[in-house]
Structure 1
Amino acid sequence: MKTAPLTAGITALLLALVLLALSWSSGSLVAHMIVHMTTVTIAAPFLAVAIRATRFDPTPHLGRSGPILASLIELVVVWVWHVPAMRKLAETGADAMIAEQASFLLAGILLWAACFRLQAEGPRRLAGIVGLLFTSIHMTLLGVLLTLAPRPLYGAGDVICLGIMLSREADQQLGGVIMLMVGAAAYLLGAVILLADILKPTSSEHCR
């Protein structure tokens, strides 16, 4: 495994777990979203790079449509855990919380590993762009839903987020904004990086 990305990924994951432990009982969506975004947009891509071409790499088992499949898995995992009943379950049960965070991490690693398999041929790189764009779109939709919902979706009353008292409505809106600013933007940036790599002139074109 590659030491630098492995260290960075584990460090980001540990920071996310510490914040989760400190904020779990608060029920704050903002704190949840910070943990979620740290896991899927920082820890997961670094860990995906670290396990590339090792026995832990999931990409050899995926076909050309692997990035699309991984993106669909990410969609199901993210949306299911943000259904109000599932959110309440994760906020009140340690087992559910562990399952939630583990599914976020594994789905994130699978997606980034599948989309950023740089050794892949052109069609798979294009599939990687589509997979990341699709993920960015569904993250955007969920972020907009949370931000613009006419009422709080996850209970009533105030919550304490990182020592700050927030109403449920404000907490939900800020959580949606974090998903929009971090989640949607991170996957869009990944797609742009892949596109730039495809459009990069080859050595033969430089010699003309």
Structure 2
Amino acid sequence: MRISRGWPLAAGLVLLAWLWMGPLPDLARRAFSPHMILHLAVAVVAAPMIVIGLLRLFPNIRAPRRLLLSALAVSAFEFAVVWGWHAPWMHEAAARWLPIFAVQQLTFLLAGMALWWVCLADRDRRGLVIGAGAMLFTSMHMAMLGVLLVLAPALIYAPQYCLGAFGLDPLADQQFGGGMMALFGTLPFVIGGSWLVWRLVGE
């Protein structure tokens, strides 16, 4: 019975293995929209599934003692990871060198897991408020970065690392990736934050 409760963990690990061992990593190093698909799938699909599965399997896992401080630190770390790896020179370094690409993907996963854990692990009223606030902040900065990419009038990244995918030219591909971030990078946190607020009101 307890093992069946951990299905989100198993599903998250299987998804992660498929993402990293499939064709996406090679595509992500040559075009922007595959990079964004990989990034979002790791950070806002696989990461929360793994965290939810762990919390279901081990309900006694505790949130950090200083929850507010931890939430601020984790939110800042996640912000730095997302915006840092999308700075042109960082993105291009990850595209050029496989070890840096591996570090990029690992930090996407760790930042996502840390954020979801801080937001979901504490079930009292204070924890719900802090978790909802962290998710709100994350949704805002993800939307902001996505919109900046959509509105960019020219390529932000070097052409050899932004070749275009799915029949799109490089600029349209960059804008498509930004649109995915603005929508799908924001929506999971809006849903998660709304669920926390609903629980708070219910209490």
Q: State TM-score, norm by structure 2.
A: 0.88
Distance 1:11 1:61, change over 3 A: farther
Tell me the alpha carbon deviations over residues 141-184 of structure 1, each in whole angstroms, 9 at most, x when there is no partner.
000010001211012377242xx332221011000000011011
After TM superposition, list the pairs within 5 Å mapping 1:34-113 onto structure 2: 34-52=37-55, 59-60=63-64, 62-113=66-117
Mapped to 1, the partners of 2:173 and 2:62 lie a distance apart of: 36
Preserved contact between residue 150 and residue 176 of structure 2 (Cα < 8 Å): yes
| Unmatched runs of 5 consecutive residues or more in structure 1 | 203-208
Q: Note the C-alpha offset of 1:71.
A: 1.4
Aligned partner of residue 163 in structure 2, secondary structure: strand
Say whether 1:115 aligns with 2:119.
yes
Q: State TM-score, norm by structure 1.
A: 0.86
Q: Where does structure 1 differ by over 6 angstroms across 4 or more consecutive aligned residues?
A: none
Aligned partner of residue 116 in structure 1, secondary structure: helix
Q: If you compute each CA radius of gyration, which structure gives the higher value, 1 or 2? A: 1
Q: What count of residue pairs does the alignment treat as equivalent?
A: 195
| Unmatched runs of 5 consecutive residues or more in structure 2 | none
After TM superposition, list the pairs within 5 Å mapping 1:1-208 onto structure 2: 3-17=6-20, 18-25=22-29, 27-52=30-55, 59-60=63-64, 62-119=66-123, 121-156=124-159, 159-161=163-165, 164-200=166-202, 202=203
Among all aligned residue pairs of Structure 1 and Structure 2, give the percentage whose two residues are the same amino acid: 31
Mapped to 2, the partners of 1:72 and 1:96 lie a distance apart of: 21
Mapped to 1, the partners of 2:14 and 2:147 lie a distance apart of: 30
